[in-house]
Amino acid sequence: MKQQTRSASAVGHERRTIYLPPQRPGFAAWTAAFDYGDGRLGLSFKETVREKNTGFRPPRLELGEAIGAPVSAMELMNAKAEKELRNGVNRRVNCEAANLDKAVEAAQEQLEAIRRLYELGRVEELPPRLKETIILREAFPELTLSELAEEFDPPITKSCLNHRLRKLVELSRT
């Protein structure tokens, strides 16, 4: 069986450089069109390495722009930027939610420890600073450590408040 050959020729073809990078990339690239033989036309992308240039970083989506698809390239870049933005927002929301969950759990544990100290009758024997901590934690159960530390007169550090609350939890367990 003899294979049929077909040829294709470009009509109105002009050779032009679409993109020329500011640095020599160390390779040459071009496209070629070919006929599959069943009426379909194919494209082939070729690249020839000339010299190694380790400092060259090709721009993103250069190929899409080079074959005449700048609109598609822009849509792709927009979709990627939108996805990155959405992922960043989701990450921040998830982190914030996790931090709030941890703060609520810690506050509940602290309030439970204070309740146990009252049941054991140990609140009156505590030093004044721990009593003040109990009063403020009961008054503001929803506040984070930073916010609660600001309620003291004078305000105390978050670290100091954390130490006092850990001490109350520890005392409630002994």
128 confidence band (pLDDT: 50, 70, 90): very high
Name the residue type at position 122: R
Q: Among 13, 19, 10, which residue's Cα sits nearest to residue 66?
A: 19
8 confidence band (pLDDT: 50, 70, 90): low
- Name, in order, each residue with C-beta under 8 angstroms of 15's C-beta and a sequence gap of 6 or more: none
Indicate the pTM of the whole model: 0.52
* Mean pLDDT estimate for the chain: 80
Taking residue 65's Cβ as centre, other Cβ atoms within 10 Å add up to 17
Residue 54 confidence (pLDDT) above 80 = no
**Helix ranges restricted to H, the chain:** 62-66, 70-120, 128-139, 145-150, 158-173
Q: How many angstroms separate the Cα of 7 from the Cα of each of 4, 10, 84, 116?
A: 10, 10, 46, 91
**pLDDT, average across residues 79-89:** 89
Q: Which residue has the higher pLDDT, 21 or 110?
A: 110
**Residue 55 pLDDT:** 63
Tell me if 31 sits within 8 A of 45, measured CB to CB.
yes
Name the residue type at position 26: G
